[in-house]
Amino acid sequence: MQMKVVKSWVVLCLVILFGSCDNTKPNTQLNSTSKKEKVMELSKKEKVVALLNSFNTGDQTPISYINPNKYIQHNLAVGDGLAGFGEVIKHAPPGGFKANVIRAFEDGDYVFTQTEYDFFGPKIGFDVFRFEEGLIVEHWDNLIEIKPPNPSGRTQIDGATEITDKDKTEANKSIIKGFIDDVLLNHQNEKITTYINPTKYIQHNPAVADGLDGFGEAMKYFAENNLVMEYTKTHKILGEGNFVLAMSEGKFGKGEHTSFYDLFRLENGQIVEHWDVIETILPEAERKNSNGKF
């Protein structure tokens, strides 16, 4: 069954790229119209979740949610378009890939997800998809290997999942922009408690404990070991209700060019929970597309 899943993905990618070999079936136009109407009934979020779940099921329908003529890829290890996507699928291990969507959010033309993957090994990933006219036309992601629980016993994916306060989406996005601008970019540390709840801060970074004390200890460790965590630019801030994702660029560790994806949960205008994926950005010589990380 697992090999069939991988093969069905490869076959469908080829069909979408080059067209079906069978032009003899009756009612082709009618079937195509019916499928299109069904696709349009789904929300953008539902389409993305179905696409990711199809790694597990081999369901071919969700591939039709991707625009076959325009698919801009920002994973720098993957070629552009559906051809690049299909090439990755062809090199899947014998057991295929697996995906378990933990959280999914929708913000206008964007859907962003947090997913537990078996993708060339166990990984945690944030994916961002952009839609045009109901179809996916662009994709960004950050991936990291699964780590043991952090000093507070929390994993990279556990914690709250319920989306609330949808009427506060824009306000919460503004709060996160302020936090990144003031604290992470401009180092105004005296404002930390303006943005982060000082008595409730749940941390899912695999190396950092809960609370502001955990945050402070992590920063102390970096300073004592000549390591850096430097944010230089925020490219996107997306949100739905009490959850906000920030996609930022900077330097990490020994100064490697880095992509930061930070997911925040807010309560009453303050950050109370945080997940992240920090990924080194591939140098230009190793990239398989020229679209840039962001």
Tell me what pLDDT residue 85 has: 86
Which tens digit of pLDDT belongs to each residue from 145-200?
A: 999 999 999 999 999 999 999 999 999 999 999 999 999 999 999 999 999 999 99
Instruction: Place 94 in a pLDDT band, splitting at 50, 70 and 90.
Output: confident
The predicted-structure confidence for 30-79, as pLDDT tens digits, reads as follows: 454 554 555 568 999 999 999 999 999 989 999 999 999 999 999 999 99
Positive or negative torsion for Cα 142, 143, 146, 151: negative
Give the three-state DSSP class for 45: helix
Domains in the chain, CATH or no CATH each: 2-145 (3.10.450.50), 166-286 (3.10.450.50)
Question: What is the rounded average pLDDT of the residues 78-94?
Answer: 90
Per-residue pLDDT at 175: 98
CA 58 to chain centre: 21
Strands (DSSP E) contained in the chain are 72-73, 98-107, 110-118, 122-132, 135-145, 202-203, 228-240, 243-253, 256-267, 270-280
Q: Is pTM, for the whole model, over 0.85? A: yes
